[in-house]
Chains A and B, each alone.
Chain A
Amino acid sequence: MIAARDVAEDTDSTGAENVATVLSVEALGISVRTEAGLQPLVSDMGFALRRGETLAIAGESGSGKSITALAIMGLLPAPAVRVTGGRIRLGETDLTTLGERALQTVRGNRIAMIFQEPMTSLNPVMTIGTQLIEAIEAHDPLPRVEARTRAIAALQAVRLSEPERRLGQYPDELSGGMRQRVMIAMAIALRPDVLIADEPTTALDVTVQREVLDLLRRLQRDLGTAIILITHDMGVVAEMADRVLILRDGRIVEEAPVARLFESPRAAYTRELLNAVPRIGSGAVQTARARPTGMPVARVQDLSVAFDLRGGIFGRVTHRVHAVEGVSFEIHPGETFALVGESGSGKSTIARALVGLVPFSGSVEIAGQRLGAGRHALRAVRRAAQLIFQDPKAALDPRMRVGDLVAEPLVIHGIGTPAERRGRVANLFERVGLAPADADRFPHEFSGGQRQRICIARALALEPRLIIADESVSALDVSVQARVLDLLRGLKDDFGVAYLFISHDMAVVENIADRVAVMYLGQIVETGSRDQIFRDPRHSYTRRLIEAVPIPDPTHVRQPVDRPPSEIPSPVRRIGDPPNRRSLISVGHGHLVAE
């Protein structure tokens, strides 16, 4: 095995033909046992993975990507889900025939896996060092000192700063990007033949995603590991893959080299999938509106939100989290105003401040009502502005019929008789593309996209002037996302509502926004029309954000950015040491940039 590995390191040709196959999956079937008998999750799955190549398995949720990966690892949630047929061959061994003990010698050693959720994938009560070293020692009975040296080397390989200090740290002391680096270090420490990366960057901010993708590519070049990359993001596929497998409902729809797939997709589903992908730089579906005049729907001036941290004997406030710091903007009727930024930049806090859910300083005026001017104004604001959240499942009470959920805002504000409300609910259901008869069903009977439509109907019930959509399409599959975006766009014209559209996804923002504000550490660093921001970004952070977005085009050549991993500085500051306010300077036509 050692010899094989040495050969692998010398091979740098990725995806070349007639290279040895490391892993092959043949006619694999996986089923789940339900009350209605065995239900197939994956059928007739087959592919060969060659040394040093990256095979992307792409598809929407429920397509069987992750289940296939877990089957290869022997980690299917037994006894409910199990392999019902076919073979998974690693060299000469058929993994489906191995028992738990034999599988333990394969896992982490010859096939390693990294997962989507870096925040929860590390044990919170064990140090990074312990977790890394035990992974090495599980397969290689080295003296502790040597295992430690190997662990440090692995952390260096994933470019984590101060690797020796990291060994003594706990996961909660590291950011999401750093944790994913630790996961990768753990996976490559034993130089596995195969690395399975299951949505490795989906939970990460776009600039961090960029760094992790670059890292994976570099490691593959250095170590010659074959990678199975599972993703829903066609941009990531285009950038990383040599070959692509498109999955739908547990079956392979299309298999092709990456360039061919994007150039001339053969299966209708692949075309559909590629068309649904929002592309940055492709402009919007419709031209941005000219800046409207008249009374703005929302006027936010010098908005700041700070959360107190207490300490000391008397529990006095010693530190403050400056979540939002001196933010001003206006939203006009019929306009879509987007807030973009990475996690922790204060976007969602602004949304909550706008409907009076967090205490703030500064001035917020919605539909002519000033927040903070008493209960009456608060009630009026909460009628004029409605929220749609990221996770529709969590936003709908599972014990209420969806019709009642949509009617609830009308009940709360005392509008209409029960019969009138029913009529209104039926109208709303039709308007968001659901059947009025669906009103009697419960939230769990709907798909994710349908649930988000229900949330949109609920938000529209009060005929608001402003809808605040907080990452409302982020959790949806691309094809569903495209349809929900279409719906939002149509509703804007029909109802004359304005949107505050909050998103981390630059491509989606470019697709839907009229005007954009880029947030960083609680402040706006650049704002302007969509074209100003995307065609002519002036602030370095805006440029970084745009450049970091993976482009769904394999012919696009990206300059590898070789800079040390960045961490967004902390918004927690001592009392009496407020952050520097950036002042915005106009560069013409309403385009403002921080100094």
Chain B
Amino acid sequence: MAAFLARRLVQSALILLGVSFVTFVLLYALPADPVRQIAGRSATAETVENIRRELGLDRPFIVQYARYLGGLLQGDLGRSYLQKTEVAELIAARLPATLLLMLGAIIAELAIGLTMGIIAALRRGTATDTSLMVASFVGVSAPQFVVGLLLLYVFAVQLQWFPIGGYGTLAHLVLPALTLGILGAGWYSRMMRSSMIDVLRQDYIRTARAKGLARRRIVLRHALPNAILPIIAMIGIDIGIFMGGIVVVESVFGWPGIGQLAWQAIQRVDIPIIMGVTLVSAFAIVLGNLLADLVTPFIDPRIRIR
């Protein structure tokens, strides 16, 4: 176990190093000039050059990256070009909101997706099955900003069950979490359906029936834990997919998380913030996968961590 964790930590560090390098290269190659954004349109060429020198942006790429990496190793994510605040502080202030949103989305997608998948598998080939799978297809293919706006219009504007936007109470969380979770729910319902159908065909399900167990127990106790195993690994990957959705959803609902921060930073080419958010996201994905791997042995005794 300790060996496993140690190995995974080393791997994680390498992944983060790779992500930081690739992102840095991409941002360096970007045609947009951050200095122009800071200096404003009317600045003289001299002012621009001064700012460029001040930020070290006139140095060769390797030097810039080395300096960034040096700071990173000391836990320094740099300073925002425009807000003149530590990036770490900006992210720390907004991270809890994003984590809350992600947690809500995971709960939403699992609750909706797994239920749909189980019902579809048990009613395989019926009209229920078909309608559920059509619904899941819509969930997978609908763009998140459309889903978000639709939910907003129906539940916030028309029915007024939930607030239109903002942050603070549980009611604020429902619509953004749903919007973010619907995509995953679509995926999970399909995966769960095929996984469940596969499990229901297994010999041990026949054994369970031969024992005279009630259908409920067979489904919940025998089939479900086996069917959910391949899904758990997916939850880890999901966090990565969420990161993309978070930028959209947080903007639509005015949710004060790092997605919003990233969106503003991208518009202003505020490179340190973009770098910081990217690294934090990558860290979250790595952590999510690690957690998924750590949870699996509790459900499946055949998997042992070595």
What 1/0 flags go to B200-223 for Cβ under 8 Å of A? Answer: 001110111111111101000110
From the candidates A107, A120, A135, A312, name the one contacting B203 in the complex (CB within 8 A).
Answer: A120
Give the complex CA separation of A138 and B204 in angstroms. Answer: 16
The answer to whether B203 touches A105 (Cβ under 8 A) is no
Asked if B31 is at the interface (CB within 8 A of a chain A CB), the reply is: no
Chain B residue with the shortest CB-CB distance to A118: B203
Interface-facing stretch out of A87-95, A122-130, A141-149:
A122-130
The answer to whether A313 touches B226 (Cβ under 8 A) is no
Interface-facing stretch out of B13-21, B89-97, B233-241, B297-305:
B297-305
Chain B residue with the shortest CB-CB distance to A79: B125
User: In A108-157, which residues have CB < 8 Å from any B CB?
Assistant: 108-109, 112-113, 115, 117, 120-126, 134-135, 138-139
The answer to whether A134 touches B302 (Cβ under 8 A) is no
Complex interface: chain B residues within 8 A of A312 (CB) = 3
Complex interface: chain B residues within 8 A of A121 (CB) = 203-204, 206-207
Most buried by A among B202, B208, B210, B306: B210
Give the complex CA separation of A104 and B218 in angstroms. Answer: 12
The answer to whether residues A122 and B204 also contact, given A311-B306, A315-B7 and a CB cut-off of 8 A, is yes
The answer to whether B212 touches A120 (Cβ under 8 A) is no
The answer to whether B215 touches A123 (Cβ under 8 A) is no
Complex interface: chain B residues within 8 A of A313 (CB) = 2-3, 6-7
From the candidates A107, A108, A123, name the one contacting B226 in the complex (CB within 8 A).
Answer: A123
The answer to whether A183 touches B300 (Cβ under 8 A) is no
Give the complex CA separation of A120 and B205 in angstroms. Answer: 10
User: In A73-100, which residues have CB < 8 Å from any B CB?
Assistant: 73, 75, 100
Asked if B225 is at the interface (CB within 8 A of a chain A CB), the reply is: yes
Most buried by A among B3, B209, B300: B209
Complex interface: chain B residues within 8 A of A123 (CB) = 204, 207-208, 222, 226
Asked if A541 is at the interface (CB within 8 A of a chain B CB), the reply is: no
The answer to whether B214 touches A120 (Cβ under 8 A) is no
Complex interface: chain A residues within 8 A of B299 (CB) = 125
The answer to whether A120 touches B204 (Cβ under 8 A) is yes
The answer to whether A104 touches B202 (Cβ under 8 A) is no
The answer to whether B210 touches A124 (Cβ under 8 A) is no
Complex interface: chain A residues within 8 A of B2 (CB) = 313
The answer to whether B225 touches A115 (Cβ under 8 A) is no
Complex interface: chain A residues within 8 A of B210 (CB) = 73, 75, 107-108, 112-113, 115
In the complex, how many angstroms separate the beta carbon of A360 from the nearest chain B beta carbon? 26
Complex interface: chain B residues within 8 A of A311 (CB) = 3, 306
Give the complex CA separation of A135 and B208 in angstroms. Answer: 8
The answer to whether B213 touches A124 (Cβ under 8 A) is no
In the complex, how many angstroms separate the beta carbon of A310 from the nearest chain B beta carbon? 8
Asked if A567 is at the interface (CB within 8 A of a chain B CB), the reply is: no
The answer to whether B211 touches A138 (Cβ under 8 A) is yes
In the complex, how many angstroms separate the beta carbon of B298 from the nearest chain A beta carbon? 10
From the candidates B202, B204, B212, name the one contacting A109 in the complex (CB within 8 A).
Answer: B212
From the candidates A115, A172, A186, name the one contacting B302 in the complex (CB within 8 A).
Answer: A172
In the complex, how many angstroms separate the beta carbon of B273 from the nearest chain A beta carbon? 37
Asked if A307 is at the interface (CB within 8 A of a chain B CB), the reply is: no
Asked if A170 is at the interface (CB within 8 A of a chain B CB), the reply is: yes
Asked if A377 is at the interface (CB within 8 A of a chain B CB), the reply is: no
From the candidates B6, B7, B212, B302, name the one contacting A124 in the complex (CB within 8 A).
Answer: B302
The answer to whether residues A115 and B206 also contact, given A125-B226, A126-B222, A172-B301 and a CB cut-off of 8 A, is yes
User: In B246-293, which residues have CB < 8 Å from any A CB?
Assistant: none
The answer to whether A138 touches B3 (Cβ under 8 A) is no
The answer to whether B214 touches A115 (Cβ under 8 A) is no
Complex interface: chain A residues within 8 A of B203 (CB) = 115, 117, 120-121
Asked if A491 is at the interface (CB within 8 A of a chain B CB), the reply is: no
The answer to whether A125 touches B301 (Cβ under 8 A) is yes
Asked if A106 is at the interface (CB within 8 A of a chain B CB), the reply is: yes
In the complex, how many angstroms separate the beta carbon of A72 from the nearest chain B beta carbon? 11
Most buried by A among B3, B207, B221: B207
Complex interface: chain A residues within 8 A of B222 (CB) = 123, 126
Give the complex CA separation of A105 and B212 in angstroms. Answer: 6
Chain B residue with the shortest CB-CB distance to A103: B212
From the candidates A75, A105, A117, A183, name the one contacting B209 in the complex (CB within 8 A).
Answer: A75
Chain B residue with the shortest CB-CB distance to A116: B203
The answer to whether A125 touches B300 (Cβ under 8 A) is yes
Complex interface: chain B residues within 8 A of A103 (CB) = 212
Complex interface: chain A residues within 8 A of B300 (CB) = 124-125
The answer to whether A106 touches B204 (Cβ under 8 A) is no
The answer to whether A108 touches B7 (Cβ under 8 A) is no
Complex interface: chain B residues within 8 A of A315 (CB) = 7
User: In B52-111, which residues have CB < 8 Å from any A CB?
Assistant: none
User: In A301-335, which residues have CB < 8 Å from any B CB?
Assistant: 310-313, 315
From the candidates B204, B214, B226, B306, name the one contacting A104 in the complex (CB within 8 A).
Answer: B214
The answer to whether B211 touches A106 (Cβ under 8 A) is no
From the candidates B208, B215, B229, B302, name the one contacting A170 in the complex (CB within 8 A).
Answer: B302
Chain B residue with the shortest CB-CB distance to A127: B301
From the candidates A104, A170, A183, A310, name the one contacting B213 in the complex (CB within 8 A).
Answer: A104
Complex interface: chain B residues within 8 A of A115 (CB) = 203, 206-207, 210
Give the complex CA separation of A112 and B302 in angstroms. Answer: 28
The answer to whether residues A107 and B7 also contact, given A120-B203, A123-B226, A125-B300 and a CB cut-off of 8 A, is no
Give the complex CA separation of A470 and B150 in angstroms. Answer: 62
The answer to whether B225 touches A138 (Cβ under 8 A) is no
In the complex, how many angstroms separate the beta carbon of B127 from the nearest chain A beta carbon? 15
The answer to whether residues A134 and B214 also contact, given A115-B207, A121-B204 and a CB cut-off of 8 A, is no
Complex interface: chain B residues within 8 A of A172 (CB) = 301-302
Complex interface: chain A residues within 8 A of B221 (CB) = 126, 134
Chain B residue with the shortest CB-CB distance to A75: B209
User: In B11-57, which residues have CB < 8 Å from any A CB?
Assistant: none
Complex interface: chain B residues within 8 A of A186 (CB) = 207, 211
Give the complex CA separation of A155 and B68 in angstroms. Answer: 65
Give the complex CA separation of A139 and B213 in angstroms. Answer: 9
Complex interface: chain B residues within 8 A of A122 (CB) = 204, 207
User: In A481-535, which residues have CB < 8 Å from any B CB?
Assistant: none
Chain A residue with the shortest CB-CB distance to B226: A125
Give the complex CA separation of A49 and B33 in angstroms. Answer: 89
Using a CB–CB cutoff of 8 Å, the interface residues on chain A facing chain B are 73, 75, 100, 103-109, 112-113, 115, 117, 120-126, 134-135, 138-139, 170, 172, 183, 186, 310-313, 315
Provide a sorted-by-A list of 8 A–B residue pairs whose CB atoms are within 8 angstroms.
A75-B206, A104-B213, A108-B213, A115-B210, A121-B203, A123-B204, A123-B222, A124-B302
13 additional A-B residue pairs with CB within 8 Å, beyond A117-B203, A124-B300:
A75-B206, A75-B210, A100-B215, A104-B213, A112-B210, A112-B211, A120-B202, A134-B221, A139-B212, A183-B207, A311-B306, A312-B3, A315-B7
**Interchain residue pairs A-B with the least CB separation, the first 8:** A108-B212, A107-B212, A108-B211, A313-B3, A120-B203, A170-B301, A123-B204, A135-B211
